[in-house]
Structures are given as structure tokens and as C-alpha cells.
């Protein structure tokens, strides 16, 4: 018993000496530093999902959601007249669990890239067979399934984060909407 007590006292001496030198408490000295991963900032363009079921068709849009952060978006960060991934980092994708009609064409069930060509008064929305790419780096017009013309409309308030939404407008009908910065647009679809 005496040996155990002496051992404990001797083991505590270096801790006491360190505490006195640094002015900290023993509890602070004994605590390990937290893993640096705990200090990482939130992603500036987190991956987001918009999804719903219209009729019997599940529709999912997966996209990177950048923030405006005081930047000039249209004609600045996002160039007019060029194909854009319609989000950040990895290309935006749309998944249909069953066939649907988009832009007057039947789009088979599956996963597709959703690209746009922004312009001042009219945008082109593109559903493309290649969904697995960084931004629009590997975009190939030959793989387009359908192109739709949409008219952007101004928003009253700035939409800070890029946002897609999918909403039913009837039993087998709905709309896919986009909003970011000071504009929004949407297009209809019908499920089969």
C-alpha cells in the first residue's frame, strides 16, 4: 500500500511542475488536442438534393449549391453563352425512376446530367446522357437527350444559395425550378 502511494505521488510530480510553470490547470495539461478535422469550415458549395414523387415517378436532382457571397454571378462568375454545370464542382444530375416527358420528348428512366446555357433573356436547359463529370469538362452535345428554352424572371430578394426544387402541379405533372442570386426559372414535366 505504501509503495502504491509513493508511486502515485512521484507520478504526479512532473504534472504539478508543468502546471506551475505554465500557469494552467492539470485538467488542461492532461487533455489531448482535438483532431484538426473538428476545425474545418463548412463547405462553400455543399452537395444538396431536391426530390419528390410525381405520380409513380421519383425525381431527384443532386447539385453543388454555391453561395453568392457578394459576387457578380451572371455575366461574371457564370459566363453567358457557354455550357454550365448548373451548380458547383461535380455536374448536376437528374434521376428519374420511370419515364417522363420533358420538353415534349420522352426521357427514359435513368440518371442524366442537367446543364444550362445562361443568357440574359433566355436560358437553354439541357438533359444529357453524361452525368458523371467534373463541371462541364466532358460535356458532349451529341449526348443531349433534350434541350428546353426557359425564360429567367427576376427575384425580389437575393437567393443566396443556389437552389433546385421539384414540385407536383397535378397527379402526373410537375415543375423543376431553379433559383440563385436575383433570378429564377422553371420548366414542366409529365410522368408516364
Q: Are residues 9 and 92 in the same domain?
A: no
What is the pLDDT confidence band of residue 41, given thresholds at 50, 70 and 90? low
Tell me the average pLDDT across 105-109: 98
Q: Are residues 14 and 79 in the same domain?
A: no
Q: Are residues 14 and 57 in the same domain?
A: no
Q: Are residues 157 and 62 in the same domain?
A: yes
Q: Are residues 29 and 92 in the same domain?
A: no
What lies within 8 Å, CB to CB, of 183 at 6+ separation is 74, 152, 153, 154, 155
Q: Are residues 23 and 90 in the same domain?
A: no
> Residue 49: left (phi > 0), alpha (psi -120 to 50), or beta?
beta
Using the predicted structure, report yes or no on whether residue 3 has a pLDDT greater than 60. Answer: no
Tell me the average pLDDT across 11-39: 41
SS3 at position 172 = coil
Range of the domain at 77: 41-191
The residues pairing with 154 across neighbouring beta strands, listed in sequence order, are 183
* Helical (H) or strand (E) element with 156: strand 153-168
Q: What pLDDT is attached to residue 42?
A: 64
* Helical (H) or strand (E) element with 96: strand 93-96
> Residue 29: left (phi > 0), alpha (psi -120 to 50), or beta?
alpha
What's the pTM value of the predicted model, to 2 decimals?
A: 0.77
Task: Determine the distance from the C-alpha atom of residue 141 to the mean position of all C-alpha atoms in its chain, rounded to a whole number.
Answer: 24
Give the count of domains, the chain. Answer: 2
Which of the pair, 29 or 135, is modelled with greater confidence? 135
Q: Are residues 109 and 185 in the same domain?
A: yes
Q: Are residues 7 and 102 in the same domain?
A: no
Q: What pLDDT is attached to residue 32?
A: 44
Q: What pLDDT is attached to residue 9?
A: 41
Amino acid at each position: 500500500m505504501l509503495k502504491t502511494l509513493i508511486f502515485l505521488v512521484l507520478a504526479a510530480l512532473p504534472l504539478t511542475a508543468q502546471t506551475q510553470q505554465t500557469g494552467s490547470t492539470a485538467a488542461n495539461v492532461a487533455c489531448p488536442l482535438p483532431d484538426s478535422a473538428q476545425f474545418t469550415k463548412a463547405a462553400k458549395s455543399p452537395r444538396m438534393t431536391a426530390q419528390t414523387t410525381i405520380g409513380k415517378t421519383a425525381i431527384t436532382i443532386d447539385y453543388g449549391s454555391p453561395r453568392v457571397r457578394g459576387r457578380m454571378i451572371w455575366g461574371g462568375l457564370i459566363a453567358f453563352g457557354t455550357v454550365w454545370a448548373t451548380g458547383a464542382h461535380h455536374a448536376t444530375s437528374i434521376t428519374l425512376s420511370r419515364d417522363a416527358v420533358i420538353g415534349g420528348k420522352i426521357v427514359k428512366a435513368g440518371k442524366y446530367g442537367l446543364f444550362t446555357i445562361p443568357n440574359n433573356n433566355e436560358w437553354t436547359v439541357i438533359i444529357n446522357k453524361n452525368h458523371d463529370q467534373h463541371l462541364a469538362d466532358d460535356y458532349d452535345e451529341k449526348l443531349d437527350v433534350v434541350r428546353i428554352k426557359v425564360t429567367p424572371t427576376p427575384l425580389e430578394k437575393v437567393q443566396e444559395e443556389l437552389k433546385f426544387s421539384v414540385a407536383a402541379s397535378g397527379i402526373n405533372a410537375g415543375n423543376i425550378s431553379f433559383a440563385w442570386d436575383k433570378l429564377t426559372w422553371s420548366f414542366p414535366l409529365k410522368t408516364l
